Amino acid sequence: MHKEFVVVGLGRFGGSIVRELIDQGADVMAIDIASERVDEFATIATQAVVADTTDEAVLKSLGIRNFEHVIVAIGDDIQSSILTTLMLKEIGVKKITVKAQNDYHEKVLRKIGADQVVHPERDMGIRIANNILSNNVLDYLELSDEHSIMEIRVNEKIASKSLIDLDIRARYGINIVAVKRGNNIIVSPQADENLILNDVLIIIGADVDINRFEKKVLS
């Protein structure tokens, strides 16, 4: 059974989500109030519709309540984003993810029932900054304002040492959830696992602890 999604707002962010979901084999209804954007996705999405999603009657006529997940990717129109989220909640959509413009927008979205709120520009900026600042950091995902998952490359300083030698959890309060070694991933590695140069550690923890580990152990 195909997973079914609705994406509201077909700008750069929403459009990229539509393309990726379709590439992954999902069914996607793509919606925008601008007909030229909808036309662009007419041959890409499963269904492309010109609609005003702040109108509850329109949402009901499209059968959006039957979709398992709706992504609201409306651009600069915060009012439309909020009203659309509210209407989706009112008609009983199970899961709603919304793009936020700022922290105040996020607070309102969470109060009216958004299940997940994303800040794509901010999150990408943080990711790029982390990658620029460190040769060891390969990727970064913000879990909250204070916690993250990070991919860090093993350098000469810690290569050939075991996890128990480094004692990372006790010393820094962070956890290594997996080790990527070439095409293999070692999930929940054992304490006696010896690290190899260019292994990638997938680390989860508080940002301050991850930064402390990176500075003291890897720099």
pLDDT at 118: 87
Neighbours of 27 (CB within 10 A): 16
Q: Which residues, in sequence order, are CB contacts of 208 under 8 Å at separation 6+? A: 146
pLDDT at 67: 93
pLDDT at 212: 85
pLDDT at 161: 92
- Going from the C-alpha of 82 to that of each of 73, 89, 108, the distances in angstroms are 11, 11, 8
Residue with tokens 């007419």: 42
Per-residue pLDDT of the chain (219 residues; tens, 9 = 90+): 568 999 999 998 899 899 989 988 889 999 999 999 999 999 999 999 999 999 999 999 999 999 989 999 997 899 999 999 999 999 999 999 999 988 899 999 999 999 999 888 777 666 656 555 566 666 767 777 678 888 888 989 899 999 999 888 899 999 999 999 988 999 889 989 999 999 999 999 888 888 888 877 776
pTM of the model: 0.64
Instruction: Report the residue count for the chain.
Output: 219
pLDDT at 199: 92
pLDDT at 131: 56
